[in-house]
Structure 1
């Protein structure tokens, strides 16, 4: 058995429990179980990467954990704390995606897919933010900034994958897709139309997205090592 196997095994067990508790509509157990998912996937990443981690990826795990803790505590300002925590996660991930982008060489043929990707993501973001949200407690400008940050992250992930199709950028684009799906259904369920199906999809996609995030980090480290060797 590999040394990273137990942490990955317990991560998937925790994800399965979150899904089970969500099906049984035990929201308190969902929140408690979700709070251990990030530490488990962090241990998997750390062990797999031979206990090496840079500050950007370390902060991503930290703010993911803090965001889940804010949701768990559920005090008056927990919504603001969770939103700012996950927005910082997206800012840090955007930095990584842009760093990857710098290694790619673009040409005139890339203009069309870039414009299509930008239009597609902008349409989704604008459509969601233009809904008539009546139960928002925070300043709407925070959600606009949050949406722009996530949209930029998704844009660069798509461009990276289209320009260089590999496993690293595949994990990046799946991770970003999961984040967008989770956030879209979370916002619609919480502020626009409260349906159990929306809440279930948001939770289900979010907990499994962390696996793709950790895998992207692992492959990203290996990718940059290969780039340094070539230089």
Structure 2
């Protein structure tokens, strides 16, 4: 068994328990479970990466952990706190994605794929924001900014995978898809129509997005380490 395996098992076991506790309305246990999710993945990343950690990636883990605490505790200003945490995470991930994107070389036929992708992601974003949402916790313009940044991140990540096809970019693409699904169903059950299916879908895809995020970091670090050996 690899040294990182126990923490990965802990992540999946805790994720499954959190979903079960949510179904049973055991909010206290949900809080306890969520407090373990990011730390277990952080340990998994750290061990898998030989205990090497950059400052920006550490900030990503910290903000995701704080975001989960804000969301679960539902304390005063938790909506703004959670929003800021996730927004900064998306901006940092967009920074990582753009660093890879700038080295890509495009052909004319790539333009068709990019246009279709932009229209698809843009339509999804517009459709969600165009719903008759009720009792918004923040100013609507903030959600628009949030949607635009997530859309750009998703577009860049998918293009990176389409052009490169590496396992790292594959995880980044799946991460963004999970981000989109998570946020769509969060908006649906939070501000449109309360439904347990929406809640569970949002929670499950959120945990999956964390898993793909860590895999993306690990694979990218492997590439950087390989290049440094030359």
- Number of residues of Structure 1 aligned to a counterpart in Structure 2: 230
CA shift at 1:199, angstroms?
0.7
Alignment of 1:165-180 (within 5 A): 165-180=165-180
CA distance in 1, matches of 2:27, 2:122: 33
Q: Which runs of 5+ in 1 are unaligned?
A: none
Asked if structure 2 preserves the Cα contact closer than 8 Å seen for 1:15 and 1:208, the reply is no
CA distance in 1, matches of 2:139, 2:73: 21
- 1:48-75: CA deviations, max 9, x gaps? 0001111221111111011011113211
TM-score (norm 1): 0.95
- 1:28 is aligned to 28
CA shift at 1:176, angstroms?
0.6
- 1:139 is aligned to 139
TM-score (norm 2): 0.95
CA distance in 1, matches of 2:28, 2:131: 29
- 2:52 is aligned to 52
Alignment of 1:202-221 (within 5 A): 202-221=202-221
Asked if structure 2 preserves the Cα contact closer than 8 Å seen for 1:35 and 1:72, the reply is no
Alignment RMSD (CA, Å):
1.4
CA distance in 2, matches of 1:22, 1:227: 44
CA shift at 1:223, angstroms?
2.3
- 1:93 is aligned to 93
Q: 1:222 to 1:93 in 2, by over 3 A?
A: same
- 1:38 is aligned to 38
Q: Which runs of 5+ in 2 are unaligned?
A: none
CA distance in 2, matches of 1:23, 1:98: 39
CA distance in 1, matches of 2:135, 2:75: 17
Asked if structure 2 preserves the Cα contact closer than 8 Å seen for 1:174 and 1:212, the reply is yes
Asked if structure 2 preserves the Cα contact closer than 8 Å seen for 1:35 and 1:68, the reply is yes
CA distance in 1, matches of 2:98, 2:89: 14
